[in-house]
Amino acid sequence: MTCKEYPELGEKIYSEVLDNGLAVFVMPKQDYVKTFAAFATRYGGSDCRFKLGDEFVETPEGIAHFLEHKMFDMPDGSDAMTALSALGASPNAFTGPDSTCYIFSCTDNLEQSLRVLLSYVTTPYFTDASVAKEQGIIGQEIRMCEDSPSHVVYENLLKAMYAEHPVRISVPGTVESIAKITPQTLYDCHKVFYNPSNMVLAVAGRVDPEAVIAAAREVVTAEAGDVPVRDTGFSEGPFVSESKTVREMDVSIPNYMIGIKLDPDPAGGEALFRQNLLAELAMDYLAGPSSPLYIRLYEQGVINDSFGFGVEEEAGALFAYISAEGDNGGDVAAELVKEARALASTGGDAEYFDGLKKSAIGGTLRMLNSPESCCMLMVNGYFYGYEAMSELDVINSFAVSDVLGFLKENVIPEKMTVSVIEPVKKVNA
């Protein structure tokens, strides 16, 4: 076990990679009441086609999410969710485009809860009856998503940005795709992706690192396996696939998302992490709540409090987005381009930029007060190959010229798309 200290933050991270390849990270916070644990596999909704050895394997869309749902069933008929709740833990799980994570928080019984977590995630148990039942449950979930404007506007945004990239695949899949899932398919995917070499355990809070590593070594007994290779056969140019997509739904107020397609740094790791943080800072500089553009559009009534931005890095795709209510997404996109050009020509406002940097640093420091956020930092840092605690140093390294360069290069019509949800048009009788 190694220990890396961060004296400027008052933090330590203990880590070890077990003989079977499982990576374990522990951040003790002995003054905290709550402890948080995350056990994750690099397997998500985009991983429907992957390479194992020399062969490509195709699986139904939605299988990673389906597998997450079924992992709580145990061979003895018990339910892991119930077992964790009985210990006073609060369990949950989620699947994204490129990872699945099983989590719990607790104030007591950490070691027992941790052993339950590790045991059920590494113990697959599927039957024809349980799979058929889950197909009905997830089918209802999919239909609810299809009726959700916020879900549809986001899914359509991805499809408009990307022509082939698997990030276009809906994480829950479709009713038709999950109907193809069988117990054997689940067993096969669990064996491939839930092998210790493809997983990470992170714990933060009132915890003994030695006890965590001992529990992981004792419970996770599977041998190391081959790490599957994601399909990189898709071809994506730097520009969006479609400039606009519109869908009518039963809504009273139109809403939209504006996507900005970014070209991920091929070096990955720290370089991609830096690019991600730069994108967040640049979007704040361009359209954050204290930006001149935001204030002007708000005072003009073009936008309201629903207006917000974000940056996503998913399954090798990187993009920025803005979401808001209204029927003027195209106009707002044009204003973003106009403002980005104007800012790039001015040389920037260094004082305003320094204020945004201080705000971003403050947000990072607040995040470190959350055991949950610390766990996810360690998980993502391991999966994506960057130093989990380097965020402050990276933010401090940026200059206003970096932000202006980002805006000039990326906030252009060719890299932008608008996804709109409009009310259903009434037909006059």
Q: What pLDDT, on a 0 to 100 scale, did the predictor assign at position 243? A: 96
Angle between helix 371-384 and helix 269-287 axes, rounded to 10 deg: 130
Q: How far does CA 144 lie from the centroid of its chain?
A: 21
Q: Which residues contact 105 (CB under 8 A, 6 or more apart)?
A: 34, 35, 36, 37, 89, 90, 371, 372
68 is catalytic: yes
Query: How confident is the model over 318-335, as a mean pLDDT?
Result: 95
pTM of the predicted protein model: 0.93
Q: Lowest-confidence range among 37-41, 418-422, 425-429?
A: 425-429
β pairing state of 49-52 and 317-325: unpaired
Q: What pLDDT, on a 0 to 100 scale, did the predictor assign at position 289? A: 96
Q: Which residues contact 248 (CB under 8 A, 6 or more apart)?
A: 421, 422, 423, 424, 425
Chain segment 392-420, per-residue pLDDT in tens: 999 999 999 999 999 999 999 999 999 99
What structural domains does the chain harbor?
Answer: 2-230 (3.30.830.10), 244-423 (3.30.830.10)
Q: What pLDDT, on a 0 to 100 scale, did the predictor assign at position 259? A: 98
Q: What pLDDT, on a 0 to 100 scale, did the predictor assign at position 428? A: 60
Q: What pLDDT, on a 0 to 100 scale, did the predictor assign at position 207? A: 95
Chain segment 153-185, per-residue pLDDT in tens: 999 999 999 999 999 999 999 999 999 999 999
Under DSSP, is residue 136 helix (H, G, I), strand (E, B) or coil?
A: helix
Contact 66, 59 (CB under 8 A): no
Q: Report whether pLDDT(351) > 60.
A: yes
β pairing state of 244-249 and 416-423: parallel
User: Percent of the chain, pLDDT > 90?
Assistant: 87
Q: Is 62 left (phi over 0), alpha (psi -120 to 50) or beta?
A: left
Residue in the structure block whose two tokens are 């996503």: 312
Q: How confident is the model at residue 234 (pLDDT cuts 50, 70, 90)?
A: confident
Q: What pLDDT, on a 0 to 100 scale, did the predictor assign at position 404? A: 96
Altogether, the residues listed in the chain come to a count of: 429
Residue in the structure block whose two tokens are 């064996």: 191
Q: Report whether pLDDT(360) > 80.
A: yes
Strand ranges, E, within 217-254: 229-230, 244-249
Q: Which of 61, 68, 335, 339 is catalytic?
A: 68
